[in-house]
Structure formats: C-alpha cells, structure tokens
Amino acid sequence: MNIGVIGGSGYAGGELLRLLSLHPLFDVKVVSAHTNAGEQISSVHPQLQNYGHARFVKNEDVDFKDLDLVFLALPHGESAAIVEKIPSWVKIIDLGADFRLSDKSAWEKYYGGAHAGTWVYGLPELSTSHKEAISNQTRVANPGCYATSISLGLAPAIGLIDSTDIVVVAASGTTGAGRNAKINLIASEVMGSLTSYKFGGVHQHIPEIEQAITSIGKEKAKVSFTPILAPMPRGILATVTAKLTKQISVEKLHQAFTTYYALAPFVSVLPFGQLPKTSSVTGTNKAMMQVAIDENTNRLVVSVAIDNLGKGAAGQAIQNANIIVGIDETTGLLHDGIGA
C-alpha cells in the first residue's frame, strides 16, 4: 500500500517512519514537514538511514490521490484543515487530538478553537467490541499517550471500582512535549530533576480518559490526573488508583485483568512479583502492567508502562492502520523492547 506521512519531522513522526520502514506491506511514498521542506529526512532523523536521500516536502505538495493511507502527525488543531484536502477513499490515522473528543465543550475547554468532529477512538484493547468497531472505519483518531496507559489500566476494573473516584499520577519522558525548543525542556533543566506540570486537573487528556472509561461503564467517569516530567527521553509510567466497590482478592483481581487482555497481543499483565518499567517497552507497541490492592484504603492500584512514542503514538497508529486495512494487527510490530 502507498503511504503518506504528514508531519514527519517531530518525534512521533520520526518513530512512525522508523516503524514503517520495517513494515512488509506499507510503502512510504511521501513525507511532509512544512518547516523542514527540502531537507533530507536523515538530516532531521539521523537514525533513519533506510530513507536514503529522500526529502521532506511541503504539505501542499502532497498528491493524496496517489495514496492508499495517510498518517497525520501534526500539532493539535492542524489535522482538520489537511483532512479536507484528502479524498474520501484514502484511509487516515490521525495521531493528533482533533477527532478524539465527542464533547464539543470539552474540546473548547481543553484545546480551544473549533471542534473538528469525532472519529472512532483507536484503542483496540479498550473493550471486546472496540477492535471490531475500528475495523469497520476508514478514519481513526489515535489516542493520546497518557490516555492510552491510563485507560488500559482502568478498563478491566470497570464494574469493580467507583469510576467517579479515579486518581492518577503519571510520569512521561520529554519527547511527549514535542520537538519545539522550550527552555524548560533543555537538558540542564530536566536532567536530575522531576517536576509536575499542567498541575491541578488541567491536562488535555483528562476528557479523553473520562470519555473512554465512560464508554465501557455505567456511570460517568471522573479523573484527577497529575502529570510529571521525567528526566528521560521516552516512556510513561502511570500509577492509577480507584476506590473498590466490591470485595475481591488480589489474586482474583489479577486473574480478571489477565483474562481481559488474554487476546490482546500488546498488553501484558505481569506475574506477581514483577513490576513494569519503561525500559522494557522502549521502542515497542507494548503495554506492561501490574495490579495490587491497597487494603488500608480499599483502593485498586495499577502500574502501567508504555513507550509514549510507541503504544502511545506511532506503534498504536500502525496497529490501527493494520486493523482498518484488514491485516493482522501485529504486522510490523512484533519486536521486543530495548531494555537497560
């Protein structure tokens, strides 16, 4: 299939290009990067030697009629304008937030500007019917990185917890903040230090998480979320807690999570005694998690690790693309993590 990547100069775009170069059926024909148009791809992403002398083009120079599938890896709020130029028969995976939210007021509150609309939400493991819903679509909204880790950590527990009392603290590597130069992201500011940001329940992934969890439960989810900037390039470690509403042993809880993800090739519920760590999932489309019960407060505790550029962005985008074109969802994505 002929593939286009719009917005290939960012971190997610670079990881997407790396993974696509390994895909047996997806052939990248054009890569745009508006401010880097004319530059060699390998000059911006030196690791992408497979692209040889290929260069970025301007967005307006892409001929979408020659493509079968397009990945949009643009800043939030920019996808909708490009989508208008793409023929209806071309399949699209949008890595941005433009089409994730169904609530117009939530979009305006957390992102600002006009709400572009809603596409099917591309988290295949969210429920047993969700992958099928994705397979019937041609346009998919790829989830956010934090939202992916947190929603995966909560989904098997719906029905066992008070969904109005969810508390999350999650740390992410600096690539999650994008590639634009920012003083708070330079090495001298980040290395050897942790800091919260978007403090006090204002992170843009909150309505996305609440929407995802509400879609599989009977009550409207409420999430208190504190993100932390970690001194590492990539990875997310989310600690998710919620009040238990039913008596359940930790053994049965672990079994419930294991059963829920039994057919999910990219989600692993680790054996007791093992805890997820970000280095285990670096460079992969995998999520690893462990569950516990805090008996002192009767709360579920879930620890989840993903690569924010993998399962949190590019890997998940390719997984969704595989699903909507009708091939095995693992195609081009079955590789282990880098580790320590």
* Each residue's pLDDT tens digit, 74-93: 998 899 999 999 999 999 99
The active-site residue out of 20, 72, 141, 145 is 145
Tell me the mean pLDDT in the region 327-337: 95
CB 290 within 8 A of CB 274: yes
* CATH T-level assignment (fold) for domain 146-307: Dihydrodipicolinate Reductase; domain 2 (3.30.360)
- 6's CB contacts (< 8 A; 6+ apart) are 32, 59, 62, 70, 71, 72, 73, 74, 82
- Report DSSP letters for 145-211, one per residue: HHHHHHHHHHGGGTTTEEEEEEEEEEEE-GGGG-SS--GGGSHHHHTT--EE-STTT--TTHHHHHH
CA distance 320 to 243: 32
* CATH T-level assignment (fold) for domain 2-142+311-325: Rossmann fold (3.40.50)
* DSSP 8-state class, residue 235: -
User: pTM of the full predicted structure?
Assistant: 0.96
The model's pLDDT over 116-163, given as tens digits with 9 standing for 90+, comes to 999 999 999 999 899 999 999 999 999 999 999 999 999 999 999 999
CA distance 102 to 111: 13
- Report whether pLDDT(178) > 90: no
Please provide the average confidence, as pLDDT, over all residues in the chain: 94
pLDDT at 340: 67
Q: Is 145 labeled as catalytic in the residue annotation?
A: yes
> 47: helix, coil or strand?
coil
Tell me the mean pLDDT in the region 59-86: 95
Instruction: For the chain, give every domain's residue range.
Output: 2-142+311-325, 146-307
- Report whether pLDDT(38) > 80: yes
pLDDT at 32: 97
In angstroms, the first-to-last Cα distance of the chain is 35
- Report whether pLDDT(198) > 70: yes
What confidence category does residue 181 fall into, taking pLDDT thresholds of 50, 70 and 90?
Answer: low
